[in-house]
Amino acid sequence: MADKGAKYANGNYKAQQKAYNKTKKGVRLRVNANKLRNKLRIPKGSKMDAAHDKGSTTNGRAQHRSINRKSRLKVRK
């Protein structure tokens, strides 16, 4: 398998992630996440994430990041 370049700690390839963050969908996701984080006054580096309410981009709650990201973790057996 060919080497695809540098990776982030979470397994994403840096070049691919940078390209995705520039797409309309990627920009929209980042903007909404940052807005909610500011609204909830969660500082950078905090152990809390801004968890969106289902179907909402503007409302949410502060939630511990391990719980918020649990559904997206790659579980290996």
Band of pLDDT at residue 8, cut at 50, 70 and 90: confident
- Is 60 exceeded by the pLDDT of residue 71? yes
Q: Is the whole model's pTM more than 0.85, yes or no? A: no
- Is 80 exceeded by the pLDDT of residue 10? no
Structure tokens at 5: 């370049």
Looking at residue 75, its pLDDT comes to 61
Cβ-based neighbours of 61, under 8 Å, separated by 6 or more: 40, 50, 51, 53
Q: What is the pLDDT of residues 22-64, one digit of tens each?
A: 999 999 988 998 999 999 999 988 999 888 888 888 899 999 9
Rounded Cα–Cα distance for residues 36 and 10 (Å): 23
Domain residue limits, the chain: 14-72
